Chain A
Amino acid sequence: MRKLSDTKPVGVIGAGNFGSTVANLLARHRNVLLYARDEKVIKRILEKGENRGHKMSKHITPTNDLQYLAEQCDIIFPIVPSAHFRAMMKKLSPHLHPYHILIHGTKGLDITLPKGQTIETVAKLNRDQVKTMSEVIREESVVVRVGCLAGPNLSKELEARHPAATVIASPFNEVLSIGKRLLRNDRFQVYGNNELIGVELAGVLKNIIAIASGALSGMGYGENARGLLISRGVVEIIHLGRALGGKTKAFLGVAGIGDLVATSNSSFSRNFQVGYKLAQGMTLKEILESMDEVAEGINTVRIMKKCADYYKVRAPITNTIYQVLFEDLTVKQALNYLMRYPLNVDIDFID
């Protein structure tokens, strides 16, 4: 059934946790070229067939040559942290052509600030400066057939072959069907969605709630509290997401609620870990030092707090998490504040 040799390999850029997982999923169907910046990672995969605790499929070939990867592969999955995404695209772009298809798996936002400014000092933050990864791809390259991976994809569970699902979003049905063909297996369901921006934002924004959920667990609170948080979290995400140009529908599916529930309950989630450790009394600095990969949620909170100001969206969870992360509000104070917050309308976004 599988014909590995007679088709071009598929490219994956970024050998982090999720990158390695996606490479393994793809390798069940096709040969995979996996780009890693770090020579040591490449060596380890070649010699030991292992990376970050993932056993790497023998159909995966590591490389540190972006040009070679772009020449060999028509279909590429860039999965690098949002902070490096644009720089990576600038390097990749000269080798890309309009026939390339890019499906990214990065749940973060890109911001462009004037020189010398930070998110905190800049006067305002809006959609002129804040971009999703698909928008970065469009801005930096000639590639138009762009998509994203979203949904509850906790790497560890996927590696353990627990049942799971993902969403591929793209305005192009062609991209959806290619993504489905490449990723689907008996334990992994793939849904298609045409609302690219909405799905990207759902994946990005849910990390804010994941941090808050981790904090609840860290305080030792139970599931009533989490039920409250998640349902209010969905409302907040939808308001924020709509302000940034996403459609409500995208937030109610697998990429929205599905992902939110998964990450808000899982100690495997890095963003959840951040909240958990905050509640345990660790400082942000200590937490960051203890982690080997970026928790995208931290930056997302910074960006979204500023955006909420600009778009005049009420975002109490984002704002209090921000104060816990970057100011000296304790988790306990934050929870007290949120519990007293006058939220008298349950749902106001569906007619």
Chain B
Amino acid sequence: MAVEVLEKKNKNKRYKPILEGIPDWPVYQLSKNRKEFIEEVANHSLARIKEMRPTRKQLLDELEATVYREQQRMKRNRWRVDPQDEPRFWSKIKNDLIELTAKPLDENTQREEELLKRIVQRYANEIAGNFNPSSYKFAREIIKFWFARLLNAARVKKFGAIFRNQYTLRDKIQIVGKVKQLRKLAKKGTIVMVPTHFSNLDSILIGWVIHSLGLPAFIYGAGLNLFNIKIIAYFMNSLGAYKVDRRKKNLPYLETLKMYSSLAIQKGAHSLFFPGGTRSRSGMIEKMLKLGLLSTATEAQRNIYLNTPEGVEAQKIFVVPVTLNYHFVLEAPELIDEYLSVKGQDRYLPEQDKYGSWQLLQFLFKFITKGSNISVSIGRPLDIMGNYVDDEGHSMDAQDRIIHTRDYFLSNGHITIDKQREDEYTRMLSQRIVAEYHRINRVFASHLVAFVAFELWQRKYAKLDLFGLLRLPEEELEIDYAEFRKTCKRVRKQIYRLKKDDKVNYATHLKGKIDLVIRHGLESVGTFHLKRPLLMNKQGNIITRDLNTLYYYHNRLVGYELEKII
């Protein structure tokens, strides 16, 4: 395949595990003492919520709001994974609450605390992951074994090749960036990995990446909706995932979730969550991150400093941005439709997963047997303020002077707890992560062609707004190849320039003869969709069969001001 020639020989190597046995892994320690840990999370959450709602009246209001919202959720949006006894649990809480509110306000607060405790304990149990070493190993072997079989069967087209081991997943998925440093720092401190989020497959992919880098399993914040898909649920459970239910926006739930993450990080469990919240609907790299889970890294670091006597080296938290780069996102057509239908309105998006286990397996087969490589960029590790850290884990300022991260939490010489200050720190960190995403993002040929084609059409119909443009019949759209080629070349040159300024990265296959790059791009962009977003017609000109999906792939390169040179 011409495509293969373009890709530099994959230098991905096998990494030895940094910790020998699973019993040494923090995530294993956590799950071994699962019961105690859940109790700890519940107790801390309870204390935190009481702090936030100090009077009896406030607490009762909060409980009422929680019960109301939960009942609404059960009525409107129940999922397969939701436990059977849910309605019973909440109606019991509701009855107890009604009984309570009937009493005069000055009675003691023991009873409502007890109610809150029941709720929080239930949430803590729901959230908690269940890392199981034997099923972890088993899932890992399944992934490795079957992927290898499929790959070899597809690539080496001979009977019997299915039993060869010439190709492995490593040839399919490129891992680039600060791997060595990540491995080193994982031994020194606690890693909080924050990847971009485009596809439901991200969760499995990143699990594989962590394993193949020789890192111990991470605790994982995974959307509960994923657990509706049985095959993913299986893998997620065995990879040590904890569940994030985005339907539940009530205070007790959010505080319990954050406490779970915060305490796990404080205990040294490497963690992973998608700070964008849900999958990027537009196909753009996340610009705004959700601050909730991110704030737990800041809080955990402060508590670690608070609990470590001065002079003793405190466990440090390293935030590692990661971008996942695809030619093809299975859900792209649905995601972009959702995006377009709510653009400009801020309404709640229900999670819809049209793809069940069977569709995913089919996709996996296609993905493995045909082209479509994936690359994973590991960013430079940051401290919780977004400063780069060196190999020893020291935070460095712009002049390469060492910064003591502890100092950020000092007031008048003492570590203080200042929620507002830390919220601001979290916001600053999120901006740094977004900047890093754009910097380590690897441009693929498919991104380039999608971007150029869409921008050219946009320019041709400059008077139309986005929706006007998207309503044009696809048959009328055609770009002359010579013009397309010229523009691709110009944009590619600008990407080279940006890379020089350290503002973006690109895949090795982007280099070389532009005609080959364009061909590779056209072959790969959204290649398995029913309607191809971009292809060449008989005259050799560029056409589309699905402008919306093309827009989705185009969006990957938004944010670099490349449209200015179209």
Contact B401 A98 (CB under 8 A): no
Q: Name B403's closest neighbour in chain A (CB-CB).
A: A142
**What would 4 more interface pairs be, CB under 8 Å, given A93-B399, A173-B421?**
A74-B412, A144-B425, A171-B424, A173-B418
Q: Does B96 lie at the interface of the complex (its beta carbon under 8 Å from any beta carbon of A)? A: no
Q: Which B residues, 376 to 392, have Cβ-Cβ distances below 8 Å to chain A?
A: 385, 387
Cβ contact within 8 Å between B408 and A99 = yes
A-B contact pairs, 8 of them (CB 8 A): A74-B413, A97-B407, A98-B385, A99-B410, A139-B398, A144-B385, A171-B424, A172-B421
Residues of B with C-beta under 8 A to A7: 412
CB within 8 Å of A: which of B187-211? none
Judge if A309 is at the interface, Cβ distance under 8 Å. no
A38 sits at the interface (CB 8 A): no
Residues in chain A near residue B288, CB distance under 8 A: none
Minimum CB distance partner of B415 in chain A: A99
**B404 on interface, CB distance cutoff 8 Å:** yes
Q: Give the interface of A toward B (CB within 8 A).
A: 7-8, 74, 93-94, 97-99, 139, 141-142, 144-145, 171-174
Residues of A within 8 A of B424 (CB): 171-172
Contact of A98 with B421 at beta-carbon distance under 8 Å, contacts A142-B397, A144-B408, A174-B411 already known: no
The 9 closest A-B pairs by CB, nearest first: A98-B407, A99-B410, A98-B408, A99-B407, A173-B420, A97-B407, A142-B397, A171-B424, A142-B403
Q: Cβ of B385: which chain A residues have Cβ within 8 Å of it?
A: 98, 144
Any A CB within 8 A of the CB of B251: no
Q: Point out the residues of chain A lying under 8 angstroms from B397, CB to CB.
A: 141-142
For chain A, what secondary structure do more than half of its interface residues adopt (helix, strand, loop), or is it mixed?
A: loop
Q: Which residues of B contact A144 (CB under 8 A)?
A: 385, 408, 425, 428
Alpha-carbon separation in the docked complex, A98 to B421 (Å): 13
A172 touches B408 (CB 8 A): no
Query: Which one, B399, B404, B421, B428, contacts A174 given CB within 8 A?
Result: B421
- How far, in whole Å, are A98 and B403 apart by their CA atoms in the complex? 8
A138 to B, closest residue via Cβ: B428
- How far apart are the CA atoms of A171 and B423 in the complex, in Å? 10
Interface residues on B, range: 20 to 34
A174 touches B407 (CB 8 A): no
Chain A residues in 8 Å Cβ range of B428: 144
Distance in angstroms from B426 CB to nearest chain A CB is 12
Question: Considering the chains assembled together, what is the distance between the CA atoms of A152 and B325 in angstroms?
Answer: 53
In the complex, which residues of chain A have a beta carbon less than 8 angstroms from the beta carbon of B418? 173-174
Least CB distance, B386 to chain A, in whole angstroms:
10
Q: How far is the CA of A173 from the CA of B401 in the complex (A)?
A: 28
Enumerate B238-291 residues with CB–CB distance to A below 8 Å.
Answer: none
Q: Which chain B residues in 418-448 approach chain A with CB under 8 Å?
A: 418, 420-421, 424-425, 428
CB distance from A139 to the nearest CB of B (A): 8
* Residues of B contacting A145 in the complex (Cβ-Cβ under 8 angstroms): 421
Query: How far does the alpha carbon of A7 sit from the alpha carbon of B418 in the complex, in Å?
Result: 21
CB-based nearest B residue for A94: B401
**Complex: A107 Cα to B404 Cα, angstroms:** 31
B420 to A, closest residue via Cβ: A173
Determine whether the beta carbon of A172 is less than 8 Å from that of B420: yes
Chain B residues whose C-beta falls within 8 Å of the C-beta of A174 in the assembled complex:
411, 418, 420-421
Q: How far is the CA of A234 from the CA of B387 in the complex (A)?
A: 39
Partner of A98, one of B398, B399, B404: B404
Q: With both chains docked as a complex, state the minimum distance between the C-beta of B298 and any C-beta of chain A, in angstroms.
A: 12
User: Smallest Cβ distance from B407 to chain A, in angstroms?
Assistant: 4
Specify which chain A residues have a CB less than 8 angstroms from the CB of B411 in the assembled complex: 99, 174
A-facing residues in B155-206 (Cβ within 8 Å): none
Minimum Cβ distance to chain A for residue B169 (Å): 42
In Å, the complex CA distance between A99 and B411 comes to: 7
Q: How far is the CA of A145 from the CA of B405 in the complex (A)?
A: 14
In the complex, how many angstroms separate the beta carbon of A156 from the nearest chain B beta carbon? 34
When distances are taken between beta carbons in the complex, the residues of chain A under 8 Å from B425 are: 144
* CB nearest to A173 among chain B residues: B420
Chain A residues, CB < 8 A from B404: 97-98
- Identify the closest chain A residue to B412 (Cβ): A74
How many angstroms from the CA of A139 to the CA of B397 in the assembled complex? 10
**Distance to closest chain A CB from B425 (angstroms):** 8
A8 CA / B385 CA spacing, docked (Å): 26
Query: How near does chain B come to A93, taking the closest CB pair, in angstroms?
Result: 8
Chain A residue numbers with a CB within 8 Å of B412 are 7-8, 74
Roughly how many angstroms separate A141 CA and B408 CA in the complex, as a whole number? 13
Which residues of the partner chain B approach A94 to less than 8 Å between Cβ atoms? 399, 401
Once the chains are docked, how many angstroms separate the CA of A149 from the CA of B238?
55
Q: Which of B335-393 contact A (CB under 8 A)?
A: 385, 387
Query: Chain B nearest CB: distance from A128 CB in Å?
Result: 12
CA distance A324 to B536 in the complex (A): 61
A99–B398 Cα gap in the complex (Å)? 17
- B residues less than 8 Å from A99 (CB atoms): 407-408, 410-411, 413
Q: B residues within 8 A CB of A172?
A: 420-421, 424
A48 shortest CB reach to chain B, Å: 34
Neighbouring A residues of B398 by C-beta, 8 Å: 139
- In the complex, A171 Cα to B421 Cα: how many Å? 8
In the complex, what distance in Å separates the CA atom of A144 from the CA atom of B425?
Answer: 9
Closest-by-CB residue of A relative to B386 is: A144
State A252–B347 Cα separation when bound (angstroms). 32
> Could you say which residues of chain A place their CB within 8 Å of the CB of B405?
98
How far, in whole Å, are A173 and B407 apart by their CA atoms in the complex? 18
In the complex the two chains form, what is the Cα distance from A156 to B403 in whole Å? 41
Contacts of A93 in B (CB 8 A): 399
Min C-beta distance of B396 to chain A, whole Å: 10
Q: A33 to B424, alpha carbons, bound, how many Å?
A: 29
In the assembled complex, how far is the CB of residue A71 from the closest CB belonging to chain B, in whole angstroms?
A: 13
Minimum distance in angstroms from A137 CB to a CB of chain B: 13
Chain B residues positioned under 8 Å from A142 (CB to CB):
387, 397, 403
User: Of residues 519 to 561 in B, which have CB atoms within 8 Å of A's CB atoms?
Assistant: none
Say how far B265's CB is from chain A's closest CB, in angstroms.
21
Chain A nearest CB from B404 CB (Å) reads 7
Residues of B near A98 (CB, < 8 A) are: 385, 403-405, 407-408, 410
Residues of chain B lying within 8 A (CB to CB) of residue A141: 397
Chain B residue numbers with a CB within 8 Å of A139 are 398
Bound complex: CA of A139 vs CA of B399, how far in Å? 11
B441-485: CB near A (< 8 Å → 1, else 0) gives 000000000000000000000000000000000000000000000
Chain A residues near B399 (CB-CB < 8 A): 93-94
Closest CB-CB distance, B259 to chain A, in whole Å?
23
CA distance A74 to B413 in the complex (A): 9
Closest CB-CB distance, B409 to chain A, in whole Å? 8
Q: How far is the CA of A97 from the CA of B405 in the complex (A)?
A: 9
Nearest-neighbour CB distance to chain B for A4, whole angstroms, equals 15
Complex Cα gap A93–B412 (Å): 19
Q: A25 to B428: give the CA distance in the assembly, Å.
A: 32
Once the chains are docked, how many angstroms separate the CA of A7 from the CA of B411? 12
- Taking CB as reference atom, which chain B residue is nearest A145? B421
CB neighbours (8 Å) of A171 from chain B are: 424
The smallest beta-carbon distance between B201 and chain A, in angstroms, is: 37
Distance (Å) between the CB of A60 and the closest chain B CB? 21
A213 to B48 Cα, complex, angstroms = 55
B389 to chain A: closest CB distance in Å? 14
Whole-angstrom distance from the CB of A21 to the nearest CB of chain B?
25
Instruction: Give A28 to B407 CA distance when docked, in angstroms.
Output: 28
CB distance from A92 to the nearest CB of B (A): 13
Q: How far is the CA of A74 from the CA of B418 in the complex (A)?
A: 17
Q: Considering the complex, which residues of chain B in the window 314-351 have a beta carbon less than 8 Å from any beta carbon of chain A?
A: none
In the bound assembly, the distance between CA atoms of A142 and B388 in angstroms comes to 12
Q: Smallest Cβ distance from B417 to chain A, in angstroms? A: 11
Task: Give the nearest-CB partner of A175 in chain B.
Answer: B421
